Chains A and B, each alone.
Chain A
């Protein structure tokens, strides 16, 4: 399995990369960690004429906090995120999600930006970024735009990025006071991808009731989604087991649920409710303990 021939470009800055992409148009394809793209090129499912390797653009590899917002550069690997002391303290959901991705070798090379741009319907990051109400920064020669996570995933392996845009960073709010979050996943036993993956963040008010709940679900539908029915059902309620279970039963309301060899649509729908309940319970416990 050998990829089709391509010309290779290794820009050193985002500006260089975006002017390259503007020129190459549809013939250009961005390479980051390569753990989705290179195997696809070997299978000839992708055959770009030009590879724009952004792996040497140092400015894309940061993880930092600015005024309560966490910004993660597109080139941060899953390992960088998993092992970040800042994130462990300020946005533990990202650490918990990173730990669940693939295996060591994948986490060492795979990047958060690459994973989001690839928009695999069973990838882990989309659930977390949706639950956090994150934003995706995209830069092109035309300028920068910020895409809310809920507008970013369009369909199976289709994101809102244009061909000349580079996903440069992800911005998410840090964990607020009286907040808790959790990511829970049923791994596909061989691939490690999510049969069902649920990310939840719960904010409690001073009385201990749910001020806001946010739930992102991956693996279930052609694209990751926010379970708005669950969120609405829990808002204002105490985070009791009964309320959480009732809310979680709406996990796949109105969703076209995937069905495949590993999990039928009915089973996935069932799993979505179970994992949503467990993720909310854990997030609520952590919020109460914070």
Chain B
């Protein structure tokens, strides 16, 4: 889905009255109608030949490796990784804000990459290494990125902070020689409504410097 807000780009006519959302509703109706015809053809096609297991829509076993620990959960396939961790594992550091892959508050590191956990199904994350803000401390000590956030006043209300820390951690795990522009780009998937961007950039740059040393 497109990012920050509903957009009217999908309008068809020239009057500007058709919103993207209206259009999509209309399109899905049109799609359903087309599909009725396709169903007729599908009946004639070969019967079930797939070996793949069908799961759901009820709860199914899902095994997640979070911060190095393996958890066996029972989840509906529709549950996102974010909701599974917050609701079933009580790992609430990752925040649920926009819930549509835009704001970055839910950012986790999956197999080394920063991802929006609100847009990833928990079942898709099976077998992958998941790191959340809870997994960054080692032996009771803050990670270099966490410490740099504190030292640079890189938070005000703090709600976006876990997402920013995870995005910065993923960025610095890849490279430690970063220009301010590269930091902006690396943190560009996260939003701070308090507008603490100056401190956030400084924190990321300082953490990079400390980690190089």
Contacts and interface: CB of A to CB of B under 8 A. Distances in A.
Interface string A236-276: 00000000000000000000001111100100000000000
Contacts of A45: 21, 24-25, 28
A17 B49 CA distance: 10
Interface in A192-206: 192-193
A182 B140 CA distance: 49
Contact of A3 (B51, B52, B78, B114): B78
Chain A: interface secondary structure?
A: loop
Interface string B41-58: 110011111111111110
Given A34-B120, A36-B1, A39-B1, A25 B38 contact: yes
A147 B49 CA distance: 27
A64 interface: no
Interface residues of A, number: 67
Interface of A: 1-12, 16-17, 19-20, 22-26, 31, 34-36, 38-43, 45-46, 51, 53, 55, 79, 102-106, 108-109, 120-122, 141, 156-158, 162-164, 188, 190-193, 219, 222, 258-262, 265
Given A55-B124, A109-B115, A191-B7, A104 B186 contact: yes
B124 A34 contact: yes
Given A106-B101, A108-B113, A190-B3, A10 B39 contact: no
A109 B120 contact: yes
B178 to A, nearest CB: 13
Interface in B144-180: 167, 170-171
Nearest to B12: A222
Interface in B117-162: 118-121, 123-124
B35 interface: yes
- Of listed A10, A79, A162, A193, residue having the most chain B CB within 10 A: A10
A219 B123 CA distance: 34
Contact of A26 (B12, B16, B38, B83): B38
B107 interface: yes
Interface residues of B, number: 70
Contact of A105 (B21, B24, B28, B101): B101
Contacts of B189: 102-106
A288 B144 CA distance: 47
Contacts of B4: 190-191
A265 B15 CA distance: 11
Given A19-B46, A260-B16, A5 B124 contact: no
23 contacts: A2-B78, A5-B78, A8-B77, A9-B53, A20-B52, A23-B42, A23-B48, A34-B124, A35-B101, A38-B101, A38-B118, A43-B1, A45-B24, A105-B101, A108-B114, A156-B10, A156-B12, A157-B27, A190-B3, A222-B10, A259-B14, A261-B8, A265-B14
Nearest to A195: B9
Contact of A8 (B31, B34, B123): B123
Given A105-B167, A157-B10, A12 B101 contact: no
A122 B27 CA distance: 17
Contact of A156 (B23, B83, B167): B23
Nearest to A107: B189
B100 A43 contact: yes
Contacts of A108: 113-115
Contacts of B80: 38
A134 B14 CA distance: 31
A39 B24 CA distance: 13
B99 interface: yes
Given A42-B100, A158-B27, 9 more contacts: A8-B55, A9-B54, A11-B50, A22-B45, A105-B104, A164-B38, A193-B2, A258-B9, A261-B8
